Amino acid sequence: MTKRILFILFFISISISIFHAKEAFSLDGPDTKYKKMLFQCLNEVNAQFDYEATEAHLNEQSCIGVAANICENASAQGKSTIGIEDCFAGETQVWDEMLNRYYKIMMDQLKSADADKLKNIQRSWIKLTQDKCGLESEGEGSVTGLRFSACYLHETANQALWLKNYAEEAFDGDKDEFPAGEKKYYGR
């Protein structure tokens, strides 16, 4: 029961942050440092693989946790349990914003039946993430919050990358064909 409450509170805090975020995925705002670190990693990975979607996606996963780890190791904030959770939450917010932007792009472009499928996939992913991260954070003590935060970061990032690649494949990997001039959000 405690784990579900932790998840709900964490999910609400992320949702509120995203709700107040700007419509465009920009480098403005309190999470700028996380975006810059994450985008630098994603740009380096994509440059190495010359935008080969499958290879790049697998290697983009190596960027998951990079900004949180830098925050944890390079700041006084990362020296406490709450500080480490804040580092995880900062990076999670960036991935969640990316996830929501690519989800919106695809929902705007898909036909009704496919949009319904994507909506159901997202709902299933949310339920799976709740259950998985809830299970991983079972137990007592401050480490349970860290386990939950780490799980939620990884699950959100992987789903964001899946949606990003789904959107890019729908446009044959051509960022210039994204609807309404949308571009890849990490500067490529």
Q: Where are the beta strands (DSSP E) in 57-115?
A: none
Give per-residue pLDDT as tens, 69-86: 888 887 776 678 888 888
Amino acid, single-letter form, for residue 128: L
Q: Which residues contact 49 (CB under 8 A, 6 or more apart)?
A: 55, 56, 59
Domain ranges of the chain: 2-8+31-177
Amino acid, single-letter form, for residue 37: M
d(CA 33, CA 27): 9
Q: What pLDDT does 58 receive?
A: 65
**Average pLDDT of the segment spanning 89-111:** 92
Give per-residue pLDDT as tens, 24-72: 334 445 567 888 888 888 888 777 765 555 555 568 888 999 888 888 8
User: Is a pLDDT exceeding 90 seen at residue 174?
Assistant: no
Give per-residue pLDDT as tens, 113-161: 999 999 999 999 999 999 999 998 888 877 888 899 999 999 999 999 9
- pTM of the complete model beyond 0.85: no
d(CA 37, CA 39): 6
